[in-house]
Amino acid sequence: MQSETIRDYIRSLFGNDEEISFAQQQIKHNEMPSISIAPLYGRLLTMCAKMINAKNILELGCLGGVGSIYLARGLSQDGKVISLEAKEKHAQVARETIRGCTLEGKIEVIVGDALTTMSELEEQQIIFDLIFIDANKSNYPAFLEQALALSKPGTIIAADNTLSRGKVIDQTDKSEETQAIRTFNRMALSDNRLEATLLPSADGFVLARVND
Ligand SMILES: C[S@@+](CC[C@H](N)C(=O)[O-])C[C@H]1O[C@@H](n2cnc3c(N)ncnc32)[C@H](O)[C@@H]1O
Ligand SMILES: [Mg+2]
């Protein structure tokens, strides 16, 4: 059976999601790229956050706030999502979208390079229960190291686009981005600080837990 058909079937089970549809419309309206997290992984992030009763969540790469909304849905009552975004325009669109949704006040978007902001968060000794990596691919290995520095035993670290549209298995592809994703996958799946797997649906998704 075509994977496209399976995807449509799964989507039909999810039903209408007004908040996510609105966020997607705003992304389109503002001519931003259509690269938000796939709904099946968005839902997985909500579930992960709920399963660990997450209070502090960090997202790398906000775009229009779709991932932030999925993450915030899983927060414990007094929890908060911090989403890091390099582009001022993307952050503005995300903030406007979030302002109108039920999770207003639970998501803070910080503009700047994620690695720099993560170092600042580390200096402030802030520890996260869940970290979602979804910014520029060439920094994925560095993001993982920084994420570990902002973690505790039990922290969930997730990362999107870890198959890079199949480029990871194309031996002729020696681009910086693809090499970085290969390095990231090797690190995540073999580092004994983590228990991890790589889910192959959509564009690939690494799900890891920081070991005790
Ligand atoms: C794939 S999109 C994020 C999608 C979002 N997580 C979601 O699921 O809705 C990647 C975003 O990361 C931002 N970005 C790229 N490199 C970055 C960096 N070094 N620091 C912070 N943001 C970055 C881009 O501007 C873009 O908005
Ligand atoms: Mg992504």
pLDDT at residue 200, as a whole number: 95
Whole-Å CA distances, 133 to 3, 14, 171, 172, 186:
25, 24, 25, 26, 16
Q: Whose CA is nearest to atom 12 of ligand 1?
A: 61
pLDDT at residue 100, as a whole number: 82
The rounded radius of gyration (Å) of the Cα atoms in the chain is 16
| Gap from CA of 33 to ligand 2 centroid (Å) | 11
Is 80 exceeded by the pLDDT of residue 2?
no
Task: Please give the Cα distance from 195 to 193 (Å, whole number).
Answer: 7
Q: Is residue 205 part of a domain?
A: yes
Q: Is residue 33 part of a domain?
A: yes
Is 60 exceeded by the pLDDT of residue 85?
yes
Q: What are phi and psi of 171, to 5 degrees?
A: -65, -20
Task: Dig out the tokens for 175 from the structure.
Answer: 């681009």
| Gap from CA of 31 to ligand 2 centroid (Å) | 17
**Ligand closest in space to the Cα of 70:** 1
Question: 83: domain CATH number?
Answer: 3.40.50.150
Which ligand 1 atom minimizes the distance to the CA of 161? 1
- The pTM score is 0.97
Is 70 exceeded by the pLDDT of residue 144?
yes
Whether the CB-CB separation of 184 and 159 falls below 8 Å is answered with yes
Q: Is residue 142 part of a domain?
A: yes
Mean pLDDT of 77-104: 96
Q: Is residue 1 part of a domain?
A: no
Q: Which residue has the tokens 């966020």?
A: 23
Is the ipTM higher than 0.85? The answer is yes
The amino acid sitting at 106 is K
Mean pLDDT of 84-93: 98
Q: Is residue 108 part of a domain?
A: yes
In the chain, the number of structural domains is: 1
What residues are in contact with ligand 1 under a 6 Å CB criterion?
A: 35-37, 59, 61-63, 66-67, 84-87, 90, 113-114, 134-136, 139
The amino acid sitting at 23 is A
Mean pLDDT of 137-149: 98
Alpha helices in 150-199 (DSSP H): 176-190
Q: Is residue 115 part of a domain?
A: yes
29-47 as b/e, with b when 16 or more CB fall inside 10 Å? Answer: eeebeeebbbbbbbbbbbe
| Gap from CA of 37 to ligand 2 centroid (Å) | 5
How much is the mean pLDDT over the chain?
96
Is 70 exceeded by the pLDDT of residue 64?
yes
The residue range of the domain holding 55 is 6-210
Task: Dig out the tokens for 11 from the structure.
Answer: 């989507």
pLDDT at residue 151, as a whole number: 98
Q: Whose CA is nearest to atom 4 of ligand 1?
A: 36
Q: Could you read off the pLDDT of 16-60 as tens digits, one per residue?
A: 999 999 999 999 999 999 999 999 999 999 999 999 999 999 999
| Gap from CA of 32 to ligand 2 centroid (Å) | 14
Q: Is residue 91 part of a domain?
A: yes
